[in-house]
Amino acid sequence: MAAITDMVSLEQRGDIALVLIDNPPVNALSHGVRLGLLRAFEQVADDAAVKGVVLACRGRTFIAGADITEFGKPPKAPGLQEPQTAIEDCPKPVVAAIHGTALGGGLEVAMCAHYRVGDPAAQYGQPEVKLGLLPGAGGTQRLPRVTGVAKALEMCAIGDPIGSQEALAAGLIDAIIEGDLVDGAVAFAEQLVAEGAPLKKIRDRDEKIEEARANRAVFDDFRKSIARKTRNFHAPAKNVDLIEAALDTPFDDALEQEREVFEDLMAGRQSQAQRYYFFAERQAAKVPDLPRDTALREVRTVGILGAGTMGGGIAMNFLNAGVPVKIVERDRESLERGIGVVRKNYQRSARRGRFTMEQVEERMSLLDAGTDKSVFADVDMVIEAVFELMPLKKSVFTELDAICREGAILATNTSGLNVNEIAAVTKRPHDVIGTHFFSPANVMKLLEIVRGDETAEDVLATTLQVSKTIGKIPAVVGVAPGFVGNRLLHQRGLEAERLILEGAPPARVDSVLYEFGLPMGPFAMGDLAGLDVGWDPDDTHGRTVREVLCESGRRGQKNGRGYYIYDPETRAPSPDPEVLDLIRDFASRHGVAQRDDHSDEEILDRCLLPMANMGAKILEEGKAMRSSDIDVVWVNGYGWPVYQGGPMFWAEGMGLDTVAAKIKDYGAKLGGAHWELSPLIEQLASEGNSFQDLPPQKIR
Ligand code: 3H9
């Protein structure tokens, strides 16, 4: 075996040359890989002893794409096109042998080979759109030529990968290899050589493009179908445009166009945010002071206390992952209601084709439901999902402490209560941790993992592993009221309420935040959650607009009247003049002058800057490890648009000196603790630094 570069080697197997990439962890197309590929293919082209070539990768995956860490840095030749051309123009048949994931530039390289084979579990995709990009190395031109336009549109503009069977059916690969992939690919190449098979270049294929020319409506139909889901994103539409360009533009011109659009998108703020976020999510699962070799506790069975909306949703995560669950409610009726909801949710998914009725039954058979907590005696982890009341949580944990076996993890699904206080009622506070799921718990990706003062390292490490098993994105946070997510939410709520008192209608505030990219504004969200959540009818004195609304019988969407009035048929919201009157009265009683000249910028700044300010205070307190973890919480738990990176990324995008100046300015005008500038922001701004310059810190 000859090393071409430190990342690419060449090996002869009979008549077949094997070009092997080895660039852990994911064989990204770093400079050494590009250079190695170019040199290796130049060499095999001229080597008379080589009759065919197999391109494969060592390690866990085929090439998973361009090296994202090189983006934004000065380009280093060769780019990707040179090795791609060397592969495509190779005078001997080239077979790409794919295992793991062929993604982005990886699939684009594979599409330059004359043939592709994959192992049964391999996946193929153009996920660039998820980084705010499009395939920049021919993907928008080669993919439609090989799979047809419809599949290429989905793969590029939505970005989800397909498996080997689908790839075979779509013509993207030529064979699925059972058994050893490289041996199989070499045999495949030998056969091509023996048959004198043609050197198939996807770039020259026209039949699928021809088909699409006859049915151009497919593009507009597709644009309509993704419009809602891709609202405000720049990249999906660009992917569609470039695939459409394949119909009428000569191949090389289209490649040129693709590269230009790729560069434009790369320079844009959306892609910067999405690339930042890609790494943020991966960082969030890393706890700097947790030794990498921490031995994990085994979690084979889970107990869930409470079969309400939260408990049922949490249970579904485990059932989906094949982990048996014992769920306990205080009475039969509530238990049956809760289990019924779980079953109904599954049946709905089955009707939508997500899985079969058989799989529904399989999942339900893993669920053991009862009313007696003593069944928790032998589970490995219990998650408590009872009402959010401290005395109740304490009594539950006292009981769990008595019932559960030694070494079981005791988790509380609290959305903001003091986990240390809960842990303190047990004789094993080191086994206690917070697992804050977001509603609906079977859908929302975020898991705030609350590390208590006493939480043992292996309990934290195991809970992180559990979150991976059930497909959640974790963010480790410290004990503080509302943790990270709800604490930031509260800041936004304070200022949103002030804005409506000053005369900005709720619908106006909501629409500015919706246009920014949030799924809904604070008032629509309040209506959805129910205005009476946390409202005490025995202790209500018109202290807030929300109390006033509740007192006048407005409960939100559930009774058709909240900040908005809801159409009984369509549930469409419209602004309600009566609400504006109530707000105006409230404002005049409290001496708040109304005005009608709030700009969009003011609304946005006033709602969002206090969130970043609080994020910085959370970092000062040591209740989050990094600013990007705070962003992960808001993107995954509250629908913050990923193309805005997260509240911390958004704020630092305007420069922390500007942030500091704005906060001081609003603070002087409006007052309130949420406008007291975080010393951390002040310090970073004065140093010319940003949140991302801070090293990760230990949760305190
Ligand atoms: C592109 O290709 C552009 C082209 O069209 C045009 C070019 C001209 N680069 O996710 P994991 C790191 S755009 C650098 O935890 P998994 C990752 O940060 C690219 N690093 O593992 C992590 O590092 P660490 C299109 C990368 O098994 C480690 O690898 N491709 C890259 O759960 C393990 O990652 C994509 O968008 C990269 N491209 O999932 C694919 N990818 O250990 C992006 C990963 O220090 N990647 N890393 O935290 C993925 O989707 C997943 O990583 C993958 C593995 C499915 C491959």
- Output the 3-class SS for 646-663: CHHHHHHHCCHHHHHHHH
Contact criterion met (CB below 8 Å) for 22 and 57? yes
Helices (H), ranges, 217-331: 217-226, 235-245, 251-267, 269-284, 309-320
The verdict on the CB of residue 83 being under 6 Å from ligand 1 is: no
Question: How confident is the model at residue 569, as a pLDDT?
Answer: 92
The verdict on the CB of residue 25 being under 6 Å from ligand 1 is: yes
pLDDT at 1 over 80: no
Which numbered atom of ligand 1 lies nearest the CA of 60?
A: 27
Question: How confident is the model at residue 72, as a pLDDT?
Answer: 82
Q: What average pLDDT does range 635-642 have in this prediction?
A: 97
The verdict on the CB of residue 26 being under 6 Å from ligand 1 is: yes
Half-sphere exposure (Cβ direction) of 195: Cα atoms closer than 13 Å: 10
The verdict on the CB of residue 505 being under 6 Å from ligand 1 is: no
Which numbered atom of ligand 1 lies nearest the CA of 282?
A: 48
Q: Whose CA is nearest to atom 28 of ligand 1?
A: 25
What is the three-class DSSP state of 311?
Answer: helix
The verdict on the CB of residue 65 being under 6 Å from ligand 1 is: yes
Assess whether 128 carries a catalytic annotation.
Answer: yes
Q: Which residue among the candidates 88, 128, 384, 652 is catalytic per the annotation?
A: 128
Which numbered atom of ligand 1 lies nearest the CA of 135?
A: 5
pLDDT band for 595, please (50, 70, 90 cuts): very high
Q: Whose CA is nearest to atom 33 of ligand 1?
A: 25
Q: Whose CA is nearest to atom 35 of ligand 1?
A: 65
Which numbered atom of ligand 1 lies nearest the CA of 127?
A: 36
pLDDT band for 290, please (50, 70, 90 cuts): very high
Contact criterion met (CB below 8 Å) for 270 and 233? yes
Question: How confident is the model at residue 113, as a pLDDT?
Answer: 98
pLDDT band for 533, please (50, 70, 90 cuts): confident
Q: What average pLDDT does range 424-447 have in this prediction?
A: 96
pLDDT band for 554, please (50, 70, 90 cuts): very high
CA-to-CA distance for 277 and 68, rounded, in angstroms? 12
The verdict on the CB of residue 216 being under 6 Å from ligand 1 is: no
The verdict on the CB of residue 196 being under 6 Å from ligand 1 is: no
Q: How far is the CA of 26 from the centre of ligand 1 (A)?
A: 6
The verdict on the CB of residue 344 being under 6 Å from ligand 1 is: no
Q: Given strand 175-176, what is the order of strands in its sheet?
A: 2-3, 8-13, 16-21, 52-57, 94-98, 115-118, 175-176
Q: Whose CA is nearest to atom 55 of ligand 1?
A: 101
Residue keyed to tokens 């939410």: 489
| Ligand 1 probe mutation, 34, 68, 76, 629, most atoms within 8 A of CB | 68
Q: Whose CA is nearest to atom 44 of ligand 1?
A: 26
CA-to-CA distance for 50 and 91, rounded, in angstroms? 10
pLDDT at 379 over 80: yes
Q: What average pLDDT does range 73-80 have in this prediction?
A: 93
Q: How far is the CA of 27 from the centre of ligand 1 (A)?
A: 9
Which numbered atom of ligand 1 lies nearest the CA of 79?
A: 8
Q: Whose CA is nearest to atom 49 of ligand 1?
A: 64
Q: How far is the CA of 274 from the centre of ligand 1 (A)?
A: 13
Average pLDDT, the chain: 96
Q: What average pLDDT does range 247-258 have in this prediction?
A: 97
Q: Whose CA is nearest to atom 32 of ligand 1?
A: 282
Identify which of 78, 127, 85 has the alpha carbon closest to the alpha carbon of residue 102. Answer: 127
The fraction of the chain above a pLDDT of 90, given in percent, is: 96
Q: How far is the CA of 279 from the centre of ligand 1 (A)?
A: 9
How confident is the model over 649-695, as pLDDT tens digits? 999 999 999 999 999 999 999 999 999 999 999 999 999 999 999 99
Question: How confident is the model at residue 396, as a pLDDT?
Answer: 97
The verdict on the CB of residue 167 being under 6 Å from ligand 1 is: no
Question: How confident is the model at residue 190, as a pLDDT?
Answer: 98
Helices (H), ranges, 131-180: 139-147, 149-153, 164-170
The verdict on the CB of residue 105 being under 6 Å from ligand 1 is: yes
The verdict on the CB of residue 128 being under 6 Å from ligand 1 is: yes
The DSSP bridge partners found for residue 450 are 434, 477
The verdict on the CB of residue 67 being under 6 Å from ligand 1 is: yes
Q: What average pLDDT does range 464-489 have in this prediction?
A: 97
H or E segment to which residue 467 belongs: helix 457-469
The verdict on the CB of residue 104 being under 6 Å from ligand 1 is: yes
Identify which of 264, 162, 258, 152 has the alpha carbon closest to the alpha carbon of residue 202. Answer: 152
pLDDT at 76 over 80: yes
CA-to-CA distance for 627 and 655, rounded, in angstroms? 15
| Ligand 1 probe mutation, 7, 21, 26, most atoms within 8 A of CB | 26
Assess whether 82 carries a catalytic annotation.
Answer: no
Which numbered atom of ligand 1 lies nearest the CA of 126?
A: 25
Half-sphere exposure (Cβ direction) of 358: Cα atoms closer than 13 Å: 0
pLDDT band for 127, please (50, 70, 90 cuts): very high
Question: How confident is the model at residue 534, as a pLDDT?
Answer: 79
Counting DSSP H helices and E strands in the chain, the numbers are 28, 20
Q: What average pLDDT does range 325-343 have in this prediction?
A: 96
Residue 296: count of CB within 10 angstroms of its CB: 13
pLDDT band for 121, please (50, 70, 90 cuts): very high
State the sign of the Cα–Cα–Cα–Cα dihedral 439, 441, 445, 450: positive
Which numbered atom of ligand 1 lies nearest the CA of 108?
A: 5
Residue keyed to tokens 């230990």: 698
The verdict on the CB of residue 101 being under 6 Å from ligand 1 is: yes
Question: How confident is the model at residue 171, as a pLDDT?
Answer: 97
The verdict on the CB of residue 137 being under 6 Å from ligand 1 is: yes
Question: How confident is the model at residue 159, as a pLDDT?
Answer: 98
How confident is the model over 154-189, as pLDDT tens digits? 999 999 999 999 999 999 999 999 999 999 999 999
The verdict on the CB of residue 493 being under 6 Å from ligand 1 is: no
pLDDT band for 56, please (50, 70, 90 cuts): very high
Q: How far is the CA of 62 from the centre of ligand 1 (A)?
A: 11
State the sign of the Cα–Cα–Cα–Cα dihedral 93, 94, 97, 98: negative
pLDDT band for 561, please (50, 70, 90 cuts): very high
Q: What average pLDDT does range 544-558 have in this prediction?
A: 94
The encoded tokens of residue 312 equal: 């049922």
Question: How confident is the model at residue 355, as a pLDDT?
Answer: 86
Q: Which residue among the candidates 42, 82, 88, 108 is catalytic per the annotation?
A: 108
